[in-house]
Amino acid sequence: MKKNEILILLGFILLKFFFQSFLIDSIYDLQRDEFLHLDQANHLALGFTSVPPVTSWISSIIQIFGNGEFWVKFFPTLFGASTMVVVWLAIDELKGSLYAKVLGATCILFSCLLRLNTLYQPNSFDVLSWTVVFFLFIKYINTDQRKWIYWMAVAFAFGFLNKYNILFLVLGLIPAVLITKSRDILLRKEVYIAMGITLLIISPNIYWQFTNGFPVFHHMQELASSQLVNVERISFLKSQLFFFTGSFFVILAALIGLLFSKRLSKFKFFFWSLIFTLTLYTYLRAKDY
């Protein structure tokens, strides 16, 4: 990256921290879920009923720093800024111009992430995890170097240990790869080695789930019966548009490019991955965020 690009990206990062610093009026206390996640630092375990353990690890760091509100809000902002950096790097990997990078960073900066990154919850790290996984997949396809899919496995594993939600990335990605010319990827040895790396990293949490009777399923059943049953499927899809209203035409152009651009043909499965994942979420009445 050229020096001027680094300076511009640094400017976006500073803007992100600046915006997040005044979005919440000081009159408000922490949100109730934030207290829950902070308290997990006092009860460290390989898993919890509602979430995997990564949030509790971050809470331990916040506790070491004094449990001040600054640090509580610092980490979701950091994850939001990191998401913007990864998007910038992904555009660079796709040979995008400086204009494209600035456009991408602007779309991230002025989006629903401003709201999401105000709360100390697993969601900010979840969005970052998804973004990193896709970025590393782009690197793997472009370079054909095994190390990128191994790093992708590590990123996915930590995303899983943050929020099981990232499984929907795989559920959308696999059929998308199968129906496109990229299906030969699934025949490569390094893909299965990467799966082994993921299983190795997440195995302590899987063991915890097993020894405790898989409370995640009980939690999901309660969630589905008490909350998701009230979610309208069409409302979920509408919200996706509202979340990124300012970047709608950029997203539309990107999707058209993935479908019809010869230069991006090897990434067409990303389009179908989005379709499959959104279809799953819609069918299951997922919360819009």
| pLDDT higher than 90, residue 237 | no
What would the mean pLDDT of 262-288 be, rounded to a whole number?
A: 91
Give the mean pLDDT of the chain.
92
| pLDDT higher than 90, residue 65 | yes
Q: Distance between CA 85 and CA 237 in Å, rounded? A: 27
Measure CA 205 to chain center. Answer: 19
Determine contact, residues 47/53, Cβ cutoff 8 Å.
yes
Q: Distance between CA 177 and CA 191 in Å, rounded? A: 13
Q: Which of 96, 89, 107 minimizes the C-alpha distance to 6?
A: 89
| Domain assignment of residue 61, yes or no | yes
| Domain assignment of residue 28, yes or no | yes
| Domain assignment of residue 85, yes or no | yes
| Domain assignment of residue 289, yes or no | no
| Domain assignment of residue 171, yes or no | yes
Q: How confident is the model at residue 238 (pLDDT cuts 50, 70, 90)?
A: confident
| Domain assignment of residue 193, yes or no | yes
Please state the φ and ψ torsions of residue 101, each to the nearest 5 degrees.
Answer: -65, -45
Cα dist from 229 to 33, 69, 221, 241, 282, whole Å: 21, 34, 11, 22, 12
What would the mean pLDDT of 187-194 be, rounded to a whole number?
A: 94
Domains identified in the chain, total number: 1
Determine contact, residues 126/166, Cβ cutoff 8 Å.
yes
Tell me the pLDDT tens digit for each residue of 25-39.
Answer: 778 888 899 999 999
> Cα Rg for the chain, rounded, in angstroms?
19
Angle between helices 146-162 and 167-178 (to 10 degrees): 140
| pLDDT higher than 80, residue 83 | yes
Q: Distance between CA 25 and CA 3 in Å, rounded? A: 36
pLDDT given for residue 2 in this prediction: 82
Unique residue bearing structure tokens 């790093």: 151
| pLDDT higher than 80, residue 274 | yes
| Domain assignment of residue 288, yes or no | no
Q: Which domain range does residue 89 map to?
A: 3-283
Q: How confident is the model at residue 148 (pLDDT cuts 50, 70, 90)?
A: very high
Token pair recorded at residue 145? 């170097």
SS3 of 10-65: HHHHHHHHHHHHHCCCCCCCCCHHHHHHHHHHHCCCCCCCCCCCHHHHHHHHHHHC
Q: Distance between CA 77 and CA 124 in Å, rounded? A: 8
Task: Determine how many CB atoms are found less than 10 A away from the CB of residue 58.
Answer: 24
Q: Distance between CA 255 and CA 274 in Å, rounded? A: 10
pLDDT given for residue 181 in this prediction: 82
Write the DSSP symbol of residue 228. G
| Domain assignment of residue 69, yes or no | yes
pLDDT given for residue 42 in this prediction: 94
Unique residue bearing structure tokens 């040895």: 189
